[in-house]
Structure 1
Amino acid sequence: MLVGSMLDDKDNSVKIQALNALKAFSGIRKFRLKIQEHFIKVLELTSTIWDSELHIAGLRLLNNLPLPDFVYPQLRRVMPALMEILQSDCILAQVQAVRLLSYVAQKNDLLYDILNCQVHANFLNLFQSTQPGSLLFEVLVFAERLSEGRNTPHYRAVKWHYNEQSLHEALFGDQSRLADRLLALVIHPEEEVQIQACKVIVSLQCPQDVRVQPSFCQTSRSYFNNGE
């Protein structure tokens, strides 16, 4: 595909145009398999060039494609870069990065690589109520999927070891302040954020097959609203 060859252009703006074009074509079934051949190349560009517009275009494309098994080794290598994009200051890039990470988190073979990925000391700032609702919602979905994944029998069958600065320790370690962040989000102005925060709380407290009920969120909201 001619558009794919433009990914090798030296000009980042040309690369971005190519990524946007591939994203448009990826919605057409007959082109999707051909575009998938560029998956690793797009991962490489996204992880090695620090350009927020390129990150957005590249990640949007990746999020519109299936995740073939052959890209797992490359995904492991670029995980730190994806985590850096998630912790950057570009909201659109952050949203796209966390969507991809949420999808990857559902793959058993990659879950440990995500959980053991190093994050900044202030990672939980992503869960502050001052963050845009669109980002908060996606970060909460990510947390729920990680929580559910680590509690599956398949994952619990292995005794995993995590780095002190890992994502696992930031979210689920003994010193994590995630619970405080979640409780604050239960009364967030945006309902989808409230509900998703409730889902994360349930995933942390209950077996994987338990599903959050609307009454749980309603109870939590009335509790905080009444100041009891």
Structure 2
Amino acid sequence: MGKNIPQFLEQIDLFKGFVGLATGAGALYLLYKAIRTSLKCQPPLCSNSPICIARLVMERERHGRDSGEIRRLLNSLECKQDEYTRSMILHNITRCVYLLEAEASSTCTMDDINLVAEMLDDKDNSVKIQALNALKAFSGIKKFRLKIQEHCIKVLELISNIWDIELHVASLRLLNNFPLPDYVHPQLRRVMPSLMAIIQSDCILAQVPVNSNFLNLFQSSQPGSLLFEVLVFAEHLSEGRNTSHYRAIKWHYNEQSLHEALFGDESRLADRLLSLVIHPEEDVQIQACKVIVSLQCPQDLGSRPSSCRPSHSYFKAGE
């Protein structure tokens, strides 16, 4: 036994060496994982500059390979970040999708769309706004449109529950980018009072180009219940324009605004209303006539004229 002691001690020293080596390797591996995770969770510095993104576009055109920028940004969005960082990541995703559309189409998935849509539940409004902008950018890619439409009800809830002008603009721009599916119509009817209040509250929203798609709601192919609601909406807007306090202010509207679509000189609303006068449902017929009367008979708040004369050539033949 005494002869084996030196050999035993040598084995102990060797074992300690192996343990130390394994411990060191384990520590290095854990350090590597921590650094890798940290790098993954940080948005690429290059994405903070539009010039850098433009350079990525040129490189992609030149070499025909993906930059990986959108994927890195989406990966960083999955990590825990503060509100400002989340907002900036979403802002950069929006810019990259617009500038690297082919790359976004080929590398992004439906799970990525859901990840961005989850940000609509963020407690910070700026994050919600940037998420809406990013979804709008993705909606320009055909394969993502149906997936984004699934979140329309959530967007309508944001409009009705949160009073924030920038949030309303971002929401309406997104909804305007594609036709709303039929199952959204009941929620759309519930949100109509909020939409009416938003549009009448501030002319900033006149910059939202909602004219062409909104007029499509006045087609006879739409469900009768929805037609009735949008006609009531149009009637209330028309009556609001004729109140004394509204006419006391000189309003300025963008040529693509909802106001110009409904009441502008180039509006095609008259044609839509005349076609609805012969709609199969009586409620729609009556309401269409009410809108026509409200458009032709200016009225002050609290009083109705006994006779009506068209205030302009809104319903001339051929217009």
Q: 1:1-228 to 2 correspondence within 5 Å? A: 12=114, 48-49=134-135, 50=139, 51-59=148-156, 61-62=157-158, 65=161, 68=163, 71-84=164-177, 88-93=179-184, 96-97=187-188, 99-100=190-191, 102-107=193-198, 110-119=201-210, 121=212, 123-204=214-295, 205-207=297-299, 208-209=301-302
SS in 1 for 2:151: helix
Counterpart CA distance in 2 for 1:171 and 1:48 is 29
TM-score (norm 2): 0.45
Higher relative contact order (CA 8 A, sep 6+): 1
Q: Percent identity?
A: 49
Deviation, structure 1 residue 196: 2.4
TM-score (norm 1): 0.59
Counterpart CA distance in 2 for 1:41 and 1:134 is 35
Unaligned ranges ≥5, structure 2 = 1-85, 87-110, 140-147, 305-319
Corresponding position of 1:224: none
Considering only aligned residues, what root-mean-square deviation do their CA atoms show, in Å? 4.0
Contact kept, 8 Å, 1:136 with 1:193, in 2: the verdict is: yes
Unaligned ranges ≥5, structure 1 = 1-7, 23-36, 212-228
Corresponding position of 1:26: none
Contact kept, 8 Å, 2:278 with 2:285, in 1: the verdict is: yes
Q: How many pairs are equivalent?
A: 183
SS in 1 for 2:240: helix
Counterpart CA distance in 1 for 2:302 and 2:208 is 27
Counterpart CA distance in 2 for 1:195 and 1:44 is 42
What CA deviation, in whole Å up to 9, does each residue of 1:157-176 have, x standing for no partner? 22222222222222111122
Deviation, structure 1 residue 152: 2.7
Counterpart CA distance in 1 for 2:282 and 2:154 is 29
The higher radius of gyration belongs to 2
Contact kept, 8 Å, 1:105 with 1:114, in 2: the verdict is: no
Deviation, structure 1 residue 114: 4.2
